[in-house]
Chain A
Amino acid sequence: MASPLEQFEIHPIVPLRLGEIDISFTNSSLYMVLTVVLTAGFVLLGMRQRAIVPGRFQAAVELSYEFVANLLRDTVGNEGRKYFPFVFTIFMFVLFGNLLGMTPYSFTFTSHIVVTFALALVVFIGVTILGFAKHGFHFFSFFVPPGTPLPMWPLLIPIEVISYLSRPISLSVRLFANMLAGHTLLKVIAGFIGVLGVAGVLPFAFVVVLTGLEILIAGLQAYVFTILTCLYINDALHLH
């Protein structure tokens, strides 16, 4: 029986080398490219007709578009409009990556901390730069909760800085852990089906239910990633 962790292995498809660094085109890269192509295809093909009364395909595209737009407006307000392309890209990339991982025999690149941490780091660094650009050095008041007495500053500032620095980690670990745990669990339970013989119907039913749950989690985690990005943008735009 195959190991439940085998699905997370990365194999180079086109081995490439840049000096000392291994930049092979792997199955992970392949699925990322596939995600980008599918996302772009989904939006571009869906909007090809530009009907006033949308058909099903166009309605699906508009639904995803308006979902993110509303999310951004509710959390950030109207100043957040500028950042819509970024937030929408993140949402679609994570959502399609998660859902693509749910197709059998495919690879889930969001189950790798490298990928999610890179995404979270882009959000984190972008939001920090945004805060600096918007508020200059006033940005550092971020680390002093309002109404803090002066003697408490040396203790509170490190705590707030650590809390701030922990954002990309909690953002990336949340997505990565959910995908990793879900797919491993699915594989482990599926492994029981063949072993148990007739009683294998039970784990089989369980796998069916779990697959539905995993699809829910795929959407939910994309949503959580997006809303956290929105909240961080909101924090950077409106300091206390």
Chain B
Amino acid sequence: MAEGRKPASLEDLDKRLRAARSHQGGNAKGELGEGDQGSTQSGLGAALRIGVDLVAAIIVGVGIGFLLDLWLDTKPWFLILFFLLGAAAGMLNVFRVASGYGLAAGYKKPEDGAQKDGVKDKS
């Protein structure tokens, strides 16, 4: 008797679980979409994130320029050149984060972004 009833209740539980999960999944997806545009976090968090992205690229640019100068003995030309390139890369990072390519500085064109959403919906 108990053996017969148990699977039924489990099936019921499974059904309810699946319903809850699909409901939750929809919610989570919506949240993630918003997160991509950077609106779930506070303004301060977004500002810090973007600031870090900007500065990180400049650090890398200056580092490469400095090392090239040290190696080729061409002070200060590579430093200047790579500082400018680093600043440009930083702007690019900021543009990518701010224009909703996700949290990361991604490498997708807008169509690919739509494609990514497609992948998201599929899963």
State the A residues within 8 Å of B (CB): 52-53, 70, 73-75, 77-78, 142, 145-147, 158-160, 162-163, 165-167, 169-170, 173-174, 177-178, 220, 224, 227-228, 231-232, 234-235, 238-240
Q: Is B89's CB under 8 angstroms from A169's CB?
A: no
CB distance from A119 to the nearest CB of B (A): 15
Chain B: interface residue total (CB-CB under 8 A): 42
Partner of B103, one of A53, A70, A169, A228: A228
Find the B residue at minimum CB distance from A71.
Answer: B32
Complex Cα spacing A160 to B105, Å: 10
Q: Is A170's CB under 8 angstroms from B56's CB?
A: yes
Find the B residue at minimum CB distance from A80.
Answer: B123
Complex Cα spacing A21 to B109, Å: 47
Question: What are 5 A-B contacts defined by CB distance under 8 Å?
Answer: A73-B123, A160-B107, A166-B105, A170-B56, A231-B106
Find the B residue at minimum CB distance from A144.
Answer: B107
Complex Cα spacing A174 to B55, Å: 11
Q: Is B13's CB under 8 angstroms from A53's CB?
A: yes
Instruction: With a 10 A CB-CB cut-off, give which of A74, A78, A232, A235 has the most chain B CB atoms.
Output: A74
Complex Cα spacing A131 to B60, Å: 21
> Would A77 and B119 be within 8 Å (CB), given that A159-B85, A174-B48, A231-B104 are in contact?
yes
Q: Can you add 18 more A-B contacts, CB < 8 Å, to A165-B60, A173-B55?
A: A53-B13, A70-B28, A74-B29, A74-B123, A75-B102, A77-B119, A159-B89, A159-B92, A160-B89, A162-B61, A162-B86, A166-B53, A166-B56, A167-B105, A170-B105, A224-B103, A235-B106, A240-B107
Complex Cα spacing A163 to B55, Å: 11
Q: Is A240's CB under 8 angstroms from B89's CB?
A: no
Shortest 8 CB-CB contacts between residues of A and residues of B? A170-B56, A169-B56, A162-B89, A166-B57, A166-B56, A163-B89, A231-B104, A166-B60
| B residues in contact with A165, CB < 8 Å | 60, 64
Q: Is B59's CB under 8 angstroms from A169's CB?
A: yes
| A residues in contact with B93, CB < 8 Å | 163, 166, 170
Q: Is A159's CB under 8 angstroms from B88's CB?
A: yes
| B residues in contact with A52, CB < 8 Å | 10
Complex Cα spacing A166 to B54, Å: 9
Instruction: With a 10 A CB-CB cut-off, give which of B28, B35, B92, B107 has the most chain A CB atoms.
Output: B107
